[in-house]
Amino acid sequence: MLEIKNLQVKLEEEDKQILKGVDLTVEPGSVHAIMGPNGSGKSTLSYVLSGRGGYEVTGGSAMLDGEDLLEMEPEERAAAGLFLAFQYPVEIPGVGNMTFLRTAVNAQRKARGEEEISAADFLKLVRAKAKTLKIDADMLKRPVNTGFSGGEKKRNEILQMAMLEPKMCILDETDSGLDVDAMKLVSEGVNALRDGKRGFVVITHYQRLLDHIKPDVVHIMAAGRIVKTGGPELALEVEQNGYADILAEFA
Amino acid sequence: MGLPQAKLDSTEARIAALSPLTGAAWIETAQAGALARLRAMGLPGRRDEYWRYTNPTGLNAPQAAAAAVFSVSDESPIYGNLDTLDIVFRDGVFDAGASDELSLEGVVIERLGEAALADIHWAKDVYGVLEERGQAPVQRPLAALNTAFAHDGILLRATGVVKKPIRFVYLHESETSDAMLHHVIKVEEGAELTVLENGPAAARFNKVMEVEVADKAAFHHIRAQGRDHERQAVTHIFARLGAESLFKSFTMTANGVMTRNEAVIELTGNDASAHIAGVALGDGDFHHDDTVFVTHDAVNCESRQVFKKVLRNGATGVFQGKILVKAGAQKTDGYQISQALLLDDNAQFLAKPELEIYADDVACSHGSTSGALDEDALFYLRARGVPRSEATDMLTLAFLAEAIDEIAAAEIAAEILDRLEGWLARRRG
């Protein structure tokens, strides 16, 4: 479903190549984990796929179900079914969380030619989904992410994911800033969305998230490329030995 | 020290064709006093400290520049969902036929022209009195001009809790109209009154509103200045607040080549609260100036100034806001924020926040910022599927929220929000 071929990306502002030819194919229903040392380009990959400014694609392609992601505006990518759970969810004072969620859901429906969801149906849906993520009414009323703790922000990301029901989810270091309980909660939220069709790319530094969200495939990224691909055991190897051994093979 | 000849000349030229409203001794005394003040000050000039950012030439000129009438046929009237007592002015002249009957429980409503004929009138203690108090330390010559020569206006004296808002509707129908209105409002002890204003009023409009808020009284003021592009306006609100009283004023300005809104608020009774807020939206040939002066002269009072501007395509915004805390005004809680959202590189915001504090046990804070939309927030919204134009509007309204929150009545805030959404939506692209 997600097909990335030889993706090369540099920063717009400076002459610095970040991605040097990334190849990645995610089949429907599968969970791919991307691990790798700091600065290897993991977050850049997530930003480029979701359409953030500041990057220049210098080669390669990224397709979602046959549609060229790189040709689309960020909102079009979202409507096409791509979702990025941010490493650092943005605080938006003055915009209510509920208003934001409803606007987003309806904007995507509209873009896909579907009918907008009624206020009552929306409320029912959001309440049910919020409950399983232990998001209370107060958090829904407050401005988007404003004054939220790290855990609250990440739970809010998963709530958005649950409401938007994307085809393809990219989780960028969703475990960062989470304590053990919060990580479990977030992971349960993600696992609830695994339905055999939806694809996931889970970017993380640590094996422990993958204890909760079990990946089918694990990739190691370094210096702008995917340098090794394997099964879940690859994550365990990283946990035990660090990246040095793996990277040494490619030095 | 005499005035420069140019000031003398422009002042005499401005008043040459004007004559004061005829009335009893009390108003003629007030008018004569104002005229003497005006002659002593002269009309404002670019070298005056408080006119550095705003060019008063068009406001001073003997003749008002023509301004095309902006008609909106595709839009429901503002405050259309509210039950109000309407008082209509066409190009600055009261229109009895279009107005509601001037009768409402808890408030006495009179026209200035009629009240002026009474030998004894309560307005004697307010008309020109608060304006004169507001002339120091900063001069406001265009307000003195108004006191001296206004022919029309409304006098409101609230003695109880007035159930529905009184609305002044200002229609602009003549391209060359030059209007002056002078309203006087007295909210007696324990009384509550809401005054709404809407409309551009005239090609050139000079308005003064003097408001005396007695002990434990509350006054709410919400104004929408109309979407007339070419009109010019200078307005002054002078308010004096008694103990435990509340004064809240909110202004929305969309469009207008020249707007100067001055608010001069004096907290003279303990535990009083004054909130002045405004949002201004400018696209193109737009100049909007909020000049605010709040004086704390009593203990344990609170004041807030919240001004937000959205500017683009050559628009200019000005904020000059001052909090003066006099000696003895302990436990003052003063807050001031002025912010501009610059939607492109071709817009400017000029701000002069000032604090002057002579008491030692006060909390005063102020902030002023200008900047573009937060790109991270914009991307976040778009990454969730919200199209750029809609996301921009959401963030713009979020930027304005703190000022809109200053409107106490939810149904009035909803009317204002609806207007703002409409203005933004028309400019999408």
Touching check for A96 and chain B: CB below 8 Å? no
Give residue for tokens 């690859």. A234
What pLDDT does B344 receive? 94
CA–CA gap between residue A171 and residue A204 (Å, rounded): 8
Helix boundaries (H) for B50-122: 57-60, 112-115
Give residue for tokens 């002044």. B168
**Pick from A50, A94, A105: which is nearest to B383 by CB?**
A50
**Pick from B379, B390, B391: which is nearest to A52 by CB?**
B379
What pLDDT does B131 receive? 98
| A227 contacts A25 by C-beta, under 8 angstroms | no
Q: Give the DSSP per-residue string, chain A.
A: -EEEEEEEEEESSSS-EEEEEEEEEE-TT-EEEEE--TTSSHHHHHHHHHT-SSEEEEEEEEEETTEEGGGS-HHHHHHTTEEEE-SSPPPEEEEEHHHHHHHHHHHHHHHTTPPPPPHHHHHHHHHHHHHHTT--HHHHHSEETTT--HHHHHHHHHHHHHHH--SEEEEESTTTT--HHHHHHHHHHHHHT--SS-EEEEE-S-HHHHHHS--SEEEEEETTEEEEEE-THHHHHHHHH-SHHHHHHH-
| Inter-chain touch A75–B387, beta carbons under 8 Å | yes
pLDDT in tens, B119-161: 999 999 999 999 999 999 999 999 999 999 999 999 999 999 9
What pLDDT does B429 receive? 57
What pLDDT does B185 receive? 98
**What number is the average pLDDT over the span A17-35?**
96
Among chain B residues, CA nearest to A146: B377
What pLDDT does B37 receive? 97
pLDDT at position A249 over 80: no
| Inter-chain touch A107–B386, beta carbons under 8 Å | yes
**What number is the average pLDDT over the span A184-190?**
91
CA–CA gap between residue B338 and residue B311 (Å, rounded): 13
Is the CATH number of domain A2-93+167-249 2.120.10.30?
no
Touching check for B372 and chain A: CB below 8 Å? no
Q: Which residues contact B402 (CB under 8 A, 6 or more apart)?
A: A94, B306, B308, B337
Touching check for B389 and chain A: CB below 8 Å? no
pLDDT in tens, A72-92: 999 999 999 999 999 999 999
What pLDDT does B268 receive? 98
Touching check for B394 and chain A: CB below 8 Å? yes
Contacts of B384 in chain A (CB under 8 A): 78, 100, 104, 107-108, 160, 164
| Inter-chain touch A104–B388, beta carbons under 8 Å | no
> Chain A interface, mutation test: which of B369, B376, B380, most A Cβ atoms within 10 Å?
B380
Touching check for B373 and chain A: CB below 8 Å? no
**What number is the average pLDDT over the span B385-414?**
95
Contacts of A78 in chain B (CB under 8 A): 382-385
Nearest-neighbour CA in chain B from A1: distance (Å): 19
Chain A residues 63-82 within an 8 A CB cutoff of chain B: 73-75, 77-79
pLDDT in tens, A92-149: 999 999 999 999 999 999 999 999 999 999 999 999 999 988 888 899 999 999 999 9
pLDDT in tens, B210-259: 999 999 999 999 999 988 999 999 999 999 999 999 999 999 999 999 99
Touching check for B417 and chain A: CB below 8 Å? no
Nearest-neighbour CA in chain A from B374: distance (Å): 9
What pLDDT does B1 receive? 58
Q: pTM for the full model?
A: 0.92
Quick count: other Cβ atoms within 10 Å of Cβ A111?
16
pLDDT at position A194 over 90: yes
What pLDDT does B405 receive? 95
**What number is the average pLDDT over the span B395-424?**
94
**What number is the average pLDDT over the span A165-189?**
91
pLDDT band at A251 (very low <50, low <70, confident <90, very high): low
Q: Tell me the residue length of chain B.
A: 429
**Pick from B377, B399, B402: which is nearest to A90 by CB?**
B377
What pLDDT does A153 receive? 94
What pLDDT does B26 receive? 97
Chain A residues 114-143 within an 8 A CB cutoff of chain B: 143
What pLDDT does A177 receive? 83
- Exposure letters A130-168 (e unless 16+ CB within 10 A, then b): beebebeeebbebbbbeebeebbbbbbbbbbbbbbebbb
What pLDDT does B51 receive? 97
Contacts of A89 in chain B (CB under 8 A): 380
What pLDDT does B88 receive? 97
**What number is the average pLDDT over the span B287-305?**
98
Sheet containing B333-342: which strands, arranged edge to edge? B93-94, B85-90, B166-171, B192-198, B218-224, B246-254, B273-283, B302-312, B333-342, B363-371
**Pick from B376, B386, B395: which is nearest to A104 by CB?**
B386
Sheet containing A225-230: which strands, arranged edge to edge? A82-85, A168-172, A199-203, A31-35, A217-222, A225-230
What pLDDT does B75 receive? 76
- B54 or A175, higher pLDDT: B54
pLDDT in tens, B347-356: 999 999 999 9
| Cβ-based burial of A8 (10 A; exposed 0-12, middle 13-18, buried ≥19) | middle
pLDDT at position B85 over 90: yes
> Chain A interface, mutation test: which of B381, B395, B406, most A Cβ atoms within 10 Å?
B381
Least confident span in B82-86, B317-321, B420-424: B420-424
pLDDT in tens, A209-238: 999 999 999 999 999 999 999 999 999 988
Residue extents of the structural domains in chain A: 2-93+167-249
pLDDT at position A243 over 90: no
| B235 contacts B243 by C-beta, under 8 angstroms | no
